[in-house]
Chains A and B, each alone.
Chain A
Amino acid sequence: MRDIVEVFGVIVIGYFAALNLIYIGFTALAWRSITRYLHSLEYAAIDEALASPLTPPISILLPGYNEEAGIVQSVNALLQLRYPEFEVIVINDGSKDSTMQQLQDAFDLVEAPRALRGTVQHAPIRGTYRAARHHELLVVDKENGGKADALNAGVDAARYPYVCAVDADAIIEPEALLRVAKPLLDDPDLVIATGGIVRIANGCTVEDGRVTEVRLPSSRLATLQVVEYFRAFLVGRVGWSQLHALLIISGAFGLFRRSTVEAVGGWDHTTVGEDMELVVRMHRYMRENGKPYRVQFVPDPVCWTEAPETLKVLSRQRRRWQRGLFETLWRHKRMTLNPKYGALGMLAMPYFIVFELLGPPLALIGYLVLPISWAIGLLSWPFVLAFFVFAVMLGQLLSISALALEEFSFRRHPRGREILRMSVYAAVENLGYRQLTDLWRGLAFWDLLRGKKSWGDMQRRGFQTAPTDQLSKSN
């Protein structure tokens, strides 16, 4: 027993050291990359691109299931995006509520046939509809098949060479499409997918489907996620993108070359991690066919989304993400440590298996082993305490450096006092919140053993809108 605990202790400490060295490396990489990006943005000539007829047109895909509360607002916001040429394809995925009726009433839809490409599989389409006032809007009404299936129907109906997948409850900033498309404008022959940053809209004021005032959430749980997202997006995704091994483009907002999506067969509706799975499959396809390509993260275009404010919903979300991660890594396991797949096979896949997939259960066992080691006299109590404090302090510094990265670059939270609040949350997220998310992610393995397939409900409270008197004043 003593030997087992001792060996495990060495593994935990080695694992901890490796993980944190990787985090430190990624933070340095992200600082370098974002600094360069900000410089390039000064000369990106975004306004010129907006006016240019050479900017490629994009089909925006908006899948929706039971989205009666916000679908009209979401569509209106998308129709107002700043981009030279685009179409919005709303896919009603067999909603049981009045989503279709809401669309019908708001946009005076008229049934109009749409020729389909027939390149990807999806559940049958019941009808396609156009709006006389918005020529760029198409509504596809189909039988229920899930989000991935709805996106495939959107690809089938898409007219343009690029498709942008957007969540129905996400808020895309007016210039976000242009910014996320910037890599395509720079390297149209090379870039097959790009994604932007997801930020948390809880606490922000939303008017007509746009975030008009950025504020931190009043909920502590949501504020913790704000800080957590900085680390995930500004450090993690920027770092992987730099290494040409980005495995995830958020399902809430991602841009893809349509022909590549078609070539790999579209989104997979048999996994709950369909966004990651598609990106990995696209990587795999391009590598196996010897085609040069790039998948890029752009830290600037913002997609706002609502974060869970209760432990129950957050737990469900994290367990689902972890299941999706496992399913993707398992399906593409042959890429792991396979030099044929470059940095993807040799770095990203092993990292995601060792640190993202197995990390939470290992961390949980570590939390148990430390006190056991002390109890059996293997470690002294001062050592256990000193190690724990050291680990927490290192975590705090990494969280605060991610916050510093945000503050030195995009500074989306204009209120000075919110910096202080976020700093405090960055410091305390390592005391309890991290451990809780590790627990949920560990429990995802139990879900996998039970064969759980469902997404689970994501109860939304809706965005905070401006008070009506304020709205009337601004009109």
Chain B
Amino acid sequence: MIELLQLFGAALSVLALATMFVLVGRRVALSRRERRRARLEAELRPVALALVDGEEVDLPRLGTAEARALAAILGRYARKLRGEPRERIATFFEERGDVQRELRRVRSRRSAQRAAAAFALGDMGSDSAIEALIGALDDRARDVRSAAARSLGMLEAEAAVPRLVGSLAEHEVPRAIAGGALLAMGSRAAPGLRSLLDADEPAVRANAIELLGFTGDASDADRLDAALREDHAIAASRWREFAEVRAAAARAQGRIGTRRAAGGLRAALNDPAPFVRTAAAHALGRIGDRDAFDALARQAGDDLYDPAQAAAQALAAIDPVRAMRLGGDEGASPHLAEAAALAELEPA
């Protein structure tokens, strides 16, 4: 028994010592590699800039490390560029066969490889990757789906809009990434989002409406108004899902900011769902609808915390002077008093 303990003790101490040496050795190797990478990037930066600027570049024969460093620089530039410079970067990667290589890698058996490839394809900026990336949204690994969504946003791939909204609604891709990808497309995403306003699933409709609020325009007001008035006489089990559609419609109307939306939003102040009333009050404040003042004042005084708070803030945005007067009254609701104090502190 003693011999066994001694043997194990000795083995453990050797293992501990070996781990210590590995840690120190690895740190030295990493520092060297980092210095080399920084030196290569410094050398290749003028070449990368010339490529982006469309100058004739007599590209020297690059070794693996140099090629990787140049690809890293161009990938970083591609994230910040649009238009012709970005197309030049895409052409560079296509001509070198890098896009084809990543398209093969996106079918790899290892999820880490697939995710890395899906991410790199976004940086390469080549439209030829769009189809494969849309396919990658069905990947079983969440990382791969996320990388693909982010890259589709970078490529401004309109064809991917319905699938991205579906991913968003089904939580297949983190909301910030799928939503961010759609927002990155800007108004180019709007037609795809509009086509989803009649989708059967309320979650898909709610997400499409939410994003249309950022990418759409005044011409969407009528359809959003219809969504805001959607019949809520539905099964109790799905009550919240349908209310989410109405709340999203109210927020979208507020962001688009057309006065045509005011009537529907005023009606929504009577919605049975508190978060719809909250969204409607915020939206009326953004639009600056003076006709809603009395209804908002009632909501600020009587409603639950969040809708009352939203109503008070809307009052301060619509008419700060009147809101200050209301909030200063004896017996004013705490929300009105707060809004009045804020209006005083932050004059419009």
Binding site for B on A (CB under 8 A): 39-40, 42-45, 48-49, 51-55, 110, 112-118, 130, 132, 135, 159, 182, 185-189, 380, 382-383, 386-387, 389-390, 393-394, 396-397, 400-401, 403-404, 407-408, 416, 419-420, 423, 427
Contacts and interface: CB of A to CB of B under 8 A. Distances in A.
A52 B179 contact: yes
Interface in B332-346: 333-335, 337-338, 341-342, 345-346
A257 B146 CA distance: 24
Given A187-B174, A396-B12, 10 more contacts: A43-B119, A48-B176, A54-B183, A112-B342, A116-B334, A159-B309, A383-B5, A386-B2, A419-B23, A423-B20
A186 B174 contact: yes
B346 A135 contact: yes
B226 interface: no
11 contacts: A43-B118, A43-B119, A44-B177, A52-B183, A54-B179, A114-B334, A382-B2, A393-B13, A396-B13, A408-B26, A427-B20
A114 B23 CA distance: 54
Nearest to A135: B346
B171 A390 contact: no
B341 A112 contact: yes
Interface of B: 1-2, 5-6, 8-9, 12-13, 15-16, 19-20, 22-24, 26-28, 31, 112, 115-116, 118-119, 142-143, 146-147, 150, 153, 171, 174-177, 179-181, 183-184, 210, 214, 305, 308-309, 312, 333-335, 337-338, 341-342, 345-346
A54 B16 contact: no
- In order of increasing CB-CB distance, the 5 nearest A-B pairs are A115-B334, A48-B180, A393-B12, A112-B341, A386-B5
B175 A54 contact: yes
Nearest to A181: B176
B146 A420 contact: no
A112 B24 contact: no
Given A380-B2, A396-B16, A45 B150 contact: yes
Contacts of B9: 386, 389-390, 393
Contacts of B8: 390, 393
A12 to B, nearest CB: 14
A189 B171 contact: yes
A130 B180 CA distance: 33
Contacts of B183: 52-54
Contacts of B12: 390, 393-394, 396-397
Contacts of A382: 2
Nearest to B118: A43
Contacts of A117: 305
B80 to A, nearest CB: 11
A305 B263 CA distance: 53
- The B interface is mostly helix, strand or loop, or mixed, namely helix
B2 A397 contact: no
B65 to A, nearest CB: 20
Given A112-B345, A396-B13, A416 B174 contact: no
A430 to B, nearest CB: 10
B115 A39 contact: yes
Given A49-B176, A115-B335, A187-B171, A404 B341 contact: no
Contacts of B2: 380, 382-383, 386
Contacts of A389: 5-6, 9
Contacts of A54: 175-176, 179-180, 183, 210
A115 B1 contact: no
Given A40-B143, A44-B146, A185 B116 contact: no
Nearest to B336: A115
A110 to B, nearest CB: 6
A182 B119 CA distance: 18
B176 A419 contact: no
Given A112-B345, A113-B338, A380-B2, A42 B116 contact: yes
Contacts of B28: 416
Given A42-B119, A48-B177, A51-B180, A115 B338 contact: yes
Contacts of A397: 12, 15-16, 19
A415 to B, nearest CB: 9
Given A115-B305, A380-B2, A407-B23, A110 B345 contact: yes
A43 B180 contact: no
Contacts of A116: 334
Contacts of A52: 176, 179-180, 183
B23 A113 contact: no
Nearest to B337: A113
A248 B214 CA distance: 39
A408 B183 CA distance: 35
Contact of B176 (A39, A185, A380, A396): A185
Contacts of A387: 5
Given A52-B176, A416-B24, A112 B338 contact: yes
B304 to A, nearest CB: 10
A419 B24 contact: yes
A462 to B, nearest CB: 31
Contacts of B143: 39-40, 43
A292 to B, nearest CB: 12
A39 B175 contact: no
B309 A115 contact: yes
Contacts of B22: 404
A423 B19 CA distance: 9
Given A386-B5, A396-B12, A396-B16, A188 B175 contact: yes
A420 B180 contact: no
A43 B112 CA distance: 10
A390 B23 contact: no
Contacts of A380: 2
B233 to A, nearest CB: 25
A420 B22 CA distance: 11
A420 B24 contact: yes
B165 to A, nearest CB: 13
Contacts of B112: 39
A212 B313 CA distance: 39
Nearest to A413: B27
Given A43-B115, A393-B16, A130 B341 contact: yes
